[in-house]
Amino acid sequence: MDVYSIDIRHLAALEAVAEEASFGRAADRLGYTQSAISQQIAGLEKIIEGTLFDRPGGPKRVRLTPLGEVVLDHARAVLARLGALESEVDLHKAGRVGHISVGTFQSVSVQLLPTVFQSLRAERPDLTIRLIENDEQDQLARRLVERTLDAAFLVEPIDRDRFDVVRMFEDQFVLLSPSGSDLAPGSDVLSARRLRGVPLISQFDAAHIKSVDDALRRIGIAPNIVFRSADNAAVQAMVRAGLGHAVMPSLAADPSDTGVELRRLDPGLPSRIIALVILKGRTQPPALARFVELAGLAADELVGRVDPITGLTR
């Protein structure tokens, strides 16, 4: 017996005839002619090398033979698996199931992603979502190239020959000072040149360090760094404690902290541009398109909550 010669139509015909107890009614059910159904059953019997139905003739009901019952059990199992496959493929194409992996960094994880994932979970509870947080941009980009991430939030500049880039928002740099600081008290804007010699606390992030330090040096200020940390909350805690001041992206700061004061700098430092990045030429999970859409909506909402004075989210 060559079971690999069995066609799905053979199994569908077997099930329909068994359940309808009639070749004619099985034909109506499947949308075939009665002769087509008879041919399918005959073909299956030839492959099985045995009789599947007792055919009494006339209007009497056809009945499965003992061999037919054995084959029908397996036919139903195969058809059920195919039905499950069809359903899962449809759900996958619609982005309702499957998994997505996204790279992120601290401030995006705190300010943007909770809104995105709350919406995505509500819409698609069976979707598996995995987050990888790393403040080293090069490592997130490497994971994209290695295909262990489907997308990642990165800061411009980004290699657009290698990646598709969806711009999310512009994040201004602001100054954090201890509450009650005598550094221009009561002012929303501080001359950046007032930072000359002032103790500074910095984020331990190569991309941010370079952009902040270079911007300060361009206006003649050699940064006086007294502490660096990879943790945004630690940077702000040290400012609160009075160790120094910090220049950091507004998205990384907590404006509800009454122990610090927030100001714009004049001249301002170049804003960082945050984007969602996808590897070019890679077939992406269908759910990722909805993730990108929701991220864009969350970014628009975040921009709408930015204070025009400090550049910080309200």
CATH number at residue 45: 1.10.10.10
End-to-end CA, the chain: 73
141 & 278 share domain: yes
* Structural tokens at position 33: 């002619």
297: number of Cβ within 10 Å = 13
Query: Is the domain of 208 the same as that of 261?
Result: yes
* Residue 245 shares a structural domain with residue 262: yes
Query: Residue 311: inside a domain, yes or no?
Result: no
**In this structure, is residue 310 part of a structural domain?**
no
Distance in angstroms (rounded) separating the CA atoms of residues 88 and 96: 9
Comparing C-alpha atoms, which of 228, 232, 225 is closest to residue 248? 232
Domain interval for residue 86: 3-93
Query: Do residues 195 and 60 both lie within one domain?
Result: no
Domain containing 129 — which CATH number? Answer: 3.40.190.10
187 and 246 both lie in a single domain: yes
Do residue 231 and residue 297 come from a single domain? Answer: no
Outline where the chain has alpha helix (H).
Answer: 8-20, 23-30, 34-48, 66-93, 106-111, 113-123, 137-146, 206-218, 232-240, 287-304
Q: Does residue 309 form part of some domain?
A: no
- Return phi, psi of residue 6, to 5°: -70, 130
Q: Cα(273)–Cα(154) distance, rounded to whole angstroms?
A: 8
Residues 73 and 158 in one domain: no
Number of domains in the chain: 3
- Residues 124, 253: one domain? no
- Is 115 within the bounds of a domain? yes
Domain stop point among 93, 111, 146: 93
Low-confidence stretches of the chain (pLDDT < 50) are: 308-309, 314
243 and 279 share a domain?
no
Shared-domain flag, residues 263 and 140: no
Specify whether 20 is located in the same domain as 131.
no
Q: What does residue 173 show for φ and ψ, rounded to 5 degrees? A: -90, 140
